[in-house]
A and B are shown apart, each in its own frame.
Chain A
């Protein structure tokens, strides 16, 4: 095993994996019956005898110390520097559809801006009847809405265009999170300023030292964009744009400008750096698509996966994963354990919301033989997640962005999973 996974140091999970691989006698895990009885039962546990922490020990609660391995991680070789960089959501450790705020992946272009909400201002200018400035208090006086949306970076899975590279769904698919936003519909704010009939495009701008900008068509702004200040009920995290970010449902994450400080209305797009040099999809013929805003339907199996091997041996297995589409809901996910020879309908559990992550499960009895796991999402428009080969046949291997091809995990007899590509 270690020769295959030399990139990973021993951890609790690897230990468990080693135990599982060690022989049939150990299969069954720590809770199995033993001749002498289970010390977890026979010996008094400290938590069963001594008093624990009182209330207020942690005024803002944190996860159990036993969950310390559940965390965002970056891929250092990807970027020049951690200030303008990205890390990844640990999808393999999560369940349900909501991403906990502290685990939502981060992508900054000039680090995390620390914006004082008392000095926060949102300016609307350009082709409007009344250029306006709003404070936080002003924003809180608009009617607000709650929506669960996924935010996926257009570069999610971008390192996999030329083939299988990274061992773990955290790294291959972790530039995504899914939270409930509370915010003001952008159209209400624009309405206050009065958009002139010539106003067809918006330029939202961030308050951080990268002053992030993207051009957004007016139709989208009037449809479902939000000026959000809460995620999962609490204030936005600083790394997610505190105190205010733009929410652009179903569209690539780069457009969801964080630390939003200004929205300009114009008659033409701006063609700024993040929509020319970046976030354009270079095709094999040297031409590039631009304004590829919508995120195509996509899914990934989060367990079993390279960071979540099967440690319990043959028998019942819960396969699970997530699926999403920038064009609607996910009514159906197919899964295969034999590399696509036969497919099975997965079970979707939890809310099926527009432009939100969906959670799927497939329970089966594993015979202990090697498997090739894949999932295939269908969205509410009838679009079916393509294979990586199908995608490459249209786009080549240089487009970086919008790689939504079907992911394959190979699982060996020990339950160890690896990122592979198959015929």
Chain B
């Protein structure tokens, strides 16, 4: 603890002269944080309930919110789609060869669930949920993990009463006692064993990513040196570039361009002029299924409207994105998306 004493000591005489108005151990830098500023950023929740806002939510409401905002990645029952996290089940698997670590089977504290959902979820639209929504989602997650019955309502009042099944199975890092002495023994340098045989090859699994061919031969470089005049672009390249930057927020869910595949959202190659809700292999919401059945086609106008207000335009869409406010940004996004259409 001796190191913490440093904190009490003045850091130097020059410093004292520079900041006469403040305590002896400060420089007088920064300004006071206003209470409303602290409130705006201080969102953390602790296991003892510190930070929990007033509110409540029940399992049934939680299911509705979850299906609307979470299920696209986590599945309707928290089973996880693709490689997105599994949130429910897995009880009793922690000693298995492939443990399933979920909120129910692994997480020690309920406060972590509330804190994380508000802090970082839905993915791509963080800190957009109201306290009651977070309570209800948390209640639904508890229900899916068989921790509470289906008529349960969670609130800041009863929050600390919920016990997580795996709470007792965590302990403080004990490497200093269990490992360091064992791994600090004298080592052998000569004739340490009779033989060394290979017991396992990585190539058997063959999961190493492919190395793309980035070979640069001298000939190729010489050819590259010959200047090719680019064809005059039809659309302002700066607009496309701006759209590329903006598209980053879309790329959490959508791939675009040649070779794009469906992810959380459908692949977006050649969108304008194509039928709505018709990207092969994507599971659309009913509003897009209906549009596809009606033969509705994406135009620049309909895309503009959708990007400005996804849920207002296509009520019931699974796309959990609030929309793009700025018309210039929408134009840039569309220019970028169209730059892939050939």
Contact = CB atoms under 8 A, between A and B. Distances in A.
B212 interface: yes
Interface stretch (A98-106, A285-293, A312-320, A352-360): A285-293
B26 A191 contact: yes
A7 B83 contact: no
A110 B122 CA distance: 11
A235 interface: no
B126 A334 contact: no
B120 A209 contact: yes
Interface residues of A, number: 123
Given A132-B31, A192-B27, A293-B173, A223 B42 contact: no
Nearest to A192: B26
B29 A290 contact: no
A218 B29 CA distance: 21
Contact of A382 (B94, B184, B201, B211): B184
A65 B97 CA distance: 46
A374 B205 CA distance: 21
A390 interface: yes
B120 A79 contact: no
A130 B28 CA distance: 11
Nearest to A3: B203
A321 interface: no
Contacts of A349: none
A60 interface: no
Given A81-B263, A287-B169, A289-B173, A418 B44 contact: no
Given A80-B73, A334-B189, A421-B200, A272 B116 contact: yes
A136 to B, nearest CB: 12
A8 B41 CA distance: 47
A314 to B, nearest CB: 21
Nearest to A385: B183
Contact of B184 (A126, A166, A168, A384): A384
A250 B224 CA distance: 45
B301 interface: no
A174 B33 CA distance: 40
B325 interface: no
Contacts of B11: 143, 188, 191
Interface string B69-107: 000010000000011110000000011010101010011
Contacts of B30: 124, 132-134, 138, 192-193
Contacts of A164: 200-202, 205
B102 to A, nearest CB: 9
Nearest to B29: A138
A76 B209 contact: yes
Given A68-B216, A191-B26, A203-B44, A271 B175 contact: no
Interface in A385-407: 385-386, 390, 394, 397-398
A109 B27 contact: no
Interface in B172-217: 172-175, 178-180, 182-185, 187-203, 205-217
Contacts of B3: 219, 222-223
A407 B85 CA distance: 30
A34 interface: no
A280 B108 CA distance: 11
Interface residue SS majority, chain B: loop
Interface residues of B, number: 104
B161 to A, nearest CB: 18
Contacts of A205: 41, 44
Interface in A267-299: 268, 270-273, 276-277, 280, 282, 284-294, 296
A423 B196 contact: yes
A266 B47 CA distance: 13
A280 B170 contact: yes
B312 to A, nearest CB: 23
Interface of B: 1, 3-4, 6-7, 11, 23, 25-33, 37-38, 41-48, 50, 73, 82-85, 94-95, 97, 99, 101, 103, 106-109, 111-112, 115-116, 119-120, 123-124, 126-127, 169-175, 178-180, 182-185, 187-203, 205-217, 221-222, 225, 248, 251-252, 263-264
28 contacts: A9-B213, A76-B209, A79-B83, A80-B73, A132-B30, A132-B31, A133-B31, A142-B27, A165-B207, A210-B126, A213-B44, A222-B6, A222-B7, A223-B3, A262-B42, A270-B46, A273-B115, A277-B112, A286-B95, A290-B172, A306-B208, A339-B196, A376-B187, A383-B180, A398-B97, A420-B202, A422-B197, A423-B197
Given A9-B210, A11-B211, A342-B191, 13 more contacts: A73-B211, A75-B209, A109-B120, A133-B32, A142-B29, A164-B200, A205-B44, A210-B120, A341-B191, A342-B190, A394-B178, A420-B201, A422-B196
9 nearest A-B pairs in the assembled complex, by CB-CB distance: A339-B196, A419-B202, A12-B215, A80-B83, A131-B33, A286-B94, A132-B30, A164-B202, A421-B200
